[in-house]
Amino acid sequence: MVHCPICGSENGSFATVCVSCKGFLRAKIENLDLFATVWMIVESPSAAFLKIVLSKHKNYVVLLSALFGIAVTYEFFWFMRWGNSSVNLFSLLAGGLVAGPFVGIIFLGAISLFLVQIGPKSVWKNTLAVVAYAGTPVIFSLVFIFPVEIAVFGGYFFGSNPPPVVLDPVAYYTLRTISALVGLWAVFLVGLAISVLKELPIRRGVLYSLIMFAGIVGSLVAIRSF
Ligand SMILES: [Zn+2]
């Protein structure tokens, strides 16, 4: 709830104009600046998600979804150990670059559709926008950690013959632990985004996010074991 500073009326949290006196409740946000918003996600994520919800245009959502998709596609190749087949490193890297953007847009679009339905309903466009920005840590790992993994392990990173952990255990566990923590950070951010978007307690939003991602990871484990 936001109280109007002019007449004192109660307004919805995302209102920009007062329902009774038509006074402005806050400055209009027309556009999102990519780097300023991403930095805000790191520094004060709740404020960043509120800004994203309030912004008229949801800039960079397609770009962020595409980069997120490339990152999760490489993680998927690693998880499925696709480096074991006759596919070489170049094909895997190129395949991720080409398929990743579509994977990201479809994946984030789908989980946003799901999240719209959980708890109080939210607008899909807003849901997709906060989720795409919440995936920022995964993009950090694509830019900063993944190249190191490829530099250290080459094509062996994606396989198990020999397992990359045998080649350099310290590097492997260090890099994979950082990636896992970055993934958890993104899961937490999605939860925080849901709580801001749907005006729920943070723990509720985080719980929804944890359940959803546990379901996704569980499905992947089931698929791999076939
Ligand atoms: Zn008012």
List the pLDDT tens digit at each of the 226 positions of the chain: 788 988 989 988 888 889 899 888 888 889 999 999 999 999 999 999 999 999 999 999 999 999 999 999 999 999 999 887 667 899 999 999 999 999 999 999 999 999 999 999 999 999 999 999 999 999 999 999 999 999 999 999 999 888 999 999 999 999 999 999 999 999 999 999 999 999 999 999 999 999 999 999 999 999 998 8
Residues around ligand 1, an ion, CB closer than 5 A:
4, 6-7, 9, 18, 21, 23
**Model-level pTM?**
0.91
Task: Output the pLDDT for position 84.
Answer: 77
Task: Output the pLDDT for position 99.
Answer: 97
| 176-215 per-residue burial string, b: 16 or more CB within 10 A, e: under 16 | bebbeebbebbbbbbbbbbbbbbebeeeebbebbeebbee
Ligand 1 centre distance from Cα of residue 54 (Å):
19
Cis geometry, peptide bond prior to residue 162 (ω within 30 degrees of 0): yes
Ligand 1 centre distance from Cα of residue 3 (Å):
8
Residue that the structure tokens 């959803």 belong to: 212
Instruction: Specify whether the CB–CB gap between 23 and 4 falls below 8 A.
Output: yes
> Which helix H or strand E contains 15, and what residues bound it?
none
Domain ranges within the chain, ordered by starting residue: 1-28, 31-224
Ligand 1 centre distance from Cα of residue 118 (Å):
32
Nearest CA to 137 among 183, 101, 175, 202?
A: 183
Could you give phi then psi for residue 120, rounded to 5 degrees? -60, 140
Task: Output the pLDDT for position 193.
Answer: 97
Ligand 1 centre distance from Cα of residue 225 (Å):
59
